Structure 1
Amino acid sequence: MFADRAKIIIKSGKGGDGHVSFRREKYVPDGGPDGGDGGRGGDVIFVVDDGLNTLTDYRHRRKFAAEPGQEGGKKNCHGKNGADLVLKVPEGTIIKDAETGKVIADMSADNRRQIVLKGGKGGLGNQHFATSTMQAPKYAQPGQDAIEIEVMLELKVIADVGLVGFPNVGKSTLLSRVTNAKPKIANYHFTTLQPNLGVVDLDGSFGFVIADIPGLIEGASEGIGLGHEFLRHIERTKVMIHMVDAAGTEGRDPVADIKAINKELEAYNPDLLKKPQVIAANKIDAIYGDENEVIENLRNAFEPEGIKVFPISAVSGKGLKELLYEVKNLLEKCPKEVTVYEAEYDPALSFYKDEPYTIERADDAAFVVEGPKIEKMLGYTNIDSEKGFLFFQRFLKEQGILKELEERGIEDGDTVRMYGHEFDYYK
């Protein structure tokens, strides 16, 4: 079975604890604290591997964890950092939070490498806590906790053209004829259980990727049959080819079939019907002449809507050139960029959502916000980057911290201080 979805548990590495020790040497009576810092925990990183086209590797193994950082040692020895966990996925894989369904990362286009979970920072050794009044601190900072979440991996095939139609209308035969793909072909329903990709090369160095989407059935948008597994692959395509049996060998009504499939597409995602469409009326090698009543009905039903009908034979190759060049013309009018889903969720933002915090006014009138979750979030988030800062802002809003600041009377231009970071507040 084609593996285009997998649910797994991923865990970053815990930061190593800081060490408590004191320098003890023969001629150094007052050596002082020398506990080293803990090592950083390993990150969980997803990378695109062009050699993969399924999520099979994640079907039989559920849990993946990065290494924890080592504890700090004596004589200011820094604990070893934990090794990162690198998970390879096919291009087009979307990583979602399993509980909320929100997108964490889309491994498409230029996004070839994404840190999904950052390892915990190592704790500071007791040497960092020595002061003029506390010269022998007997405590050190623990390492930051690991983050563990369940994610859904979902592969959406990246192709320029989606080839759709009811079972057994000849989609696989067409793909094998116009590309170098070698799909399984047989005269029975649901021969294709996974999208097959192939590259169409036309004169003038113009080529495009075409995907044979497995046969749809009515009720697919509700998950009947293998509906959802197949429909998700159409979302990335730019142009759709509806393929029907013009010879009526299955006893079906092609006009009704196309309307039924468009109904399923609309129910799954209304934006799918905004994509350009063409109709390939296949199996004309099995009819007398190049036209018949079926093709005439197709033209009358769909060409007034701007959807052209092309009588073809996937077996003999008749009419394929005209069909492919029309697809080429439609693609040239489409946006060039790949559809990429924006991140909606940062696991670190919700991992510490239930921990308490305090808001107080400092002597200089700054608002001081403190609490374990604030400190941990600052440790996990790179607020120097625009993306990281926006995620941190969203965290403050979702936790109700911004609302409470407003209730405390904060105004534009006021200073907010959080563990060594200062921000100017603007609504």
Structure 2
Amino acid sequence: MKKIFYATLLTAGIAATGLTGCSSKKLEANKIPDAALGLSVRADGTLLLKGKPYRAVGVNYFNAFSRTLEPGAWNDTSYRKGFRYLKARSIPFVRFMCSGFWPVNFKLYQNNKDQYFKNLDAFVKAAEELEIGLIPSLFWNHSTIPDLLGEPVGQWGNKDSKTNAFMRQYVQEVVTRYKNSPAIWGWEFGNELNLVTDLPGDDANLPQIAVEVGTPPTRSKADKLSTQDLQVALTEFGKAVRLYDTNRIIVSGNANPRPSAYHLHTVKNWDKDSQEQYAEMLAIQNPGPVNTISIHHYPDNALAYFADFPASLKEIIRVTMEDAVKLKKPLFIGEFGAQEQILGTGVANKNYTELLDGIETYKVPLAAMWVFDYPPHDAENGINAGPDNGPREYMLQAIKELNERTWQSNN
């Protein structure tokens, strides 16, 4: 979600080498056929699960894993309660942060890998047991890995940088460890990388400085990203994943292109893009081996698009679905939701209903509500739903009903 996470101090991480208690030889001997694992994409762009066309709505369970990495919380298995809660509501998968948000949040990974992996192994095993699909987002905060390694953030655009070398190592560790798990549905790069590209000004629109959590004390234009940098980062990520997993979907984690993305990319101004320019940026920002189209869709998108006609929340879904079909890449609305604290309960409910209606009407293959069981977003913007938040149970019930209608129509 936009404009939220820079102020949130979280401990997170991703996995590395071998599944709990299993040797690599044993895993290979019991290897499940690739087509039976996770989500994949047919040549015509159809999303598949276990070889059959698939559509579903899940949730963002943002800190389900990262909460287990906080000091004193290594034995936290509260996500099991969350998984059971989702299972009872016909919600089949979660997108979650599977990396440290700030450099400081990599301490457990750096200092005690055994414990780090033990926590992630337990998380994946719980998802397997409860048959919950997982879409891990590996590099959520775009500045964290360069900051961790002492490089400018712009080094994502250098395929030979230390940043990209670390990315490849991380991908190898995670993908080889869990590639035989039926819980893993796909692999995502990070969160909304496209929103920090092509922003104007040498000294403006720079990544946040927060020295206490591991950022450098100063920033410069070398910390900014261009569309070309984004394409390098996502292409190298996709190539790295494909070395170890030839089947599962690869997701950018991008939001919708900014309403001015094409103009920022080409002429460095904030003029609003046309519908055609929006389509062009969707393709550019989800390049090559990234075989899905990712957007994040919220009420503030209404009337932000397009220069040639004002589009409602539902119409933006229609337009984006049409573009994704042309590109033969299934659409993943990786975040959607409506903030009661900002919009008011009545308007938020109306917007939420419109978003779900658009997802159902235009047969979006995959979408995930923001956010499940993340209490900081109760008071902040009123968008959290979960076991301890009864007033927003309607959000989960609406997903349950949509999923059940979708599955009935598929059978």
Q: Same fold (TM over 0.5)?
A: no
Query: For the superposition of Structure 1 and Structure 2, which TM-score range results when normalised by the shorter chain?
Result: under 0.3
Structure number with higher helix proportion:
2
Rg comparison, structure with higher value: 1
**Structure with higher RCO (Cα < 8 A, 6+ apart):** 2
TM-score normalised by structure 1 residue count: 0.25
TM-score normalised by structure 2 residue count: 0.26
